[in-house]
Amino acid sequence: MAVDPFYPKPTDVVLFPCINSSLAIFMYGTNNIIPPPPNKVFGVTNIKTYIPLIIDLDRFNYDAWRDLFNTHCKAFKVIDHIDESTPKSTEAEWAKVDLIVQLWLYGSMSQNVLNMVLKDGQSTKDLWVSTENLFRSDKHSRVMHLENELRNITMGDLSVVAYFT
């Protein structure tokens, strides 16, 4: 019997795409399909291991936190959950991953920030945008408030200006 070079042999392994963009393995000559490995996103149980900053209104660390969170999402291929320019998927696994990314966000926020942005039924993108709006839109008024606080600080019975002069 002639061997057809285009037909797989019983021992050949063939990869084929799955719904979640990973590959499943099928070995010809058997009825075994080896499922793709689980999405590595499901293995992240403590976001603080990857993002050591807790975003807080009093720490002025939003920009550093945002860069770390973006990098983490890119590394885990979930940037589409927070990036406005990427479309939402309707796949069931995408929805599960979306909830995990939302938990990452919650886990990297201080209680005061969480109380300000937490809304029932919001998507991860909505949470990301409301967090960004909280820190971006409030910068000017926050600077004014802090300058006012600084001017009104007293050291004993002296103002800051009198204390340092």
Q: How far apart are CA 163 and CA 130, in angstroms?
A: 41
Reported residue count of the chain is 165
Residue 128 has pLDDT above 80, yes or no: yes
pLDDT for 23:
47
**Torsion, CA 112, CA 116, CA 120, CA 122, rounded to 10:** -110
pLDDT for 95-122, tens place per residue? 888 888 998 999 999 998 999 999 988 8
Q: State the DSSP string of 32-83.
A: -EEPPPPPGGGG---GGGT----B-TTTT-HHHHHHHHHHHHHHTT-GGGT-
Residue 65 has pLDDT above 70, yes or no: yes
pLDDT for 157:
79
Residue 92 has pLDDT above 50, yes or no: yes
Model confidence at 17, in pLDDT bands (50, 70, 90)?
very low
Q: How far apart are CA 136 and CA 133, in angstroms?
A: 5
pLDDT for 37-61, tens place per residue? 567 777 777 888 878 889 888 888 8
